[in-house]
Amino acid sequence: MTIEEAQYDSRVTYIGGFPGQIVSGVIWLLSASLATWSTPKNAILFLVFGGMFIFPITVLVLRIGFKHKNPLNALATQIAFTIPLTLPIAGAATLHRLSWFYPAVLLIVGAHYLPFVTLYGMRVYAVLAGVMIAAGLFIGMNVASFPLGGWIGGVIEIAFGVVGLALRAIARPSPSPA
């Protein structure tokens, strides 16, 4: 299997990764709602622990199995592990200033999307990475509101997923019934 074939297989199997962005966005929004109407601790714990379930929930949504053979599956696993391995940076930022939690996570998640360009063979993931990184930097440097970054992160993820699915449907209409 060539890299291009593996990328195509990843795009087909995971529907371009777009359902994963929607699942992630919902988790971000639930965390932001906790940040707004509950406590920062509950919001942080929900995003950290809820984030661990993004891929399994996405798999359930897609109803695919883990036995799928694709040479890029190892890359997908490595990409997934970048977030929990770098979350201590968000923790350190949060200890310094509570309002830096979501901006730090925006930076971490945004950077984690860069290898998706190779995983899916889709440059649009560089755009998503750039938007999330820029949002994280802007909010972290200019806004003192704790929940704002959570709301922005959720909206970015869901918007990207919905637009991606819509454009995918337009580009590849489903076959008409015979």
CA dist., res. 105 & res. 20, Å (int):
17
Query: Domain limits at 32?
Result: 3-170
If you average pLDDT over residues 35-59, what whole number do you get? 93
**Residue 173 binned pLDDT confidence (cut-offs 50, 70, 90):** low
Question: pTM above the 0.85 mark?
Answer: yes
* In-domain check, residue 178: no
CA dist., res. 153 & res. 139, Å (int):
11
* In-domain check, residue 111: yes
Q: Per the structure, how many domains does the chain have?
A: 1
Could you read off the pLDDT of 63-114 as tens digits, one per residue? 765 556 778 888 888 898 899 899 999 999 999 999 999 999 999 999 999 9
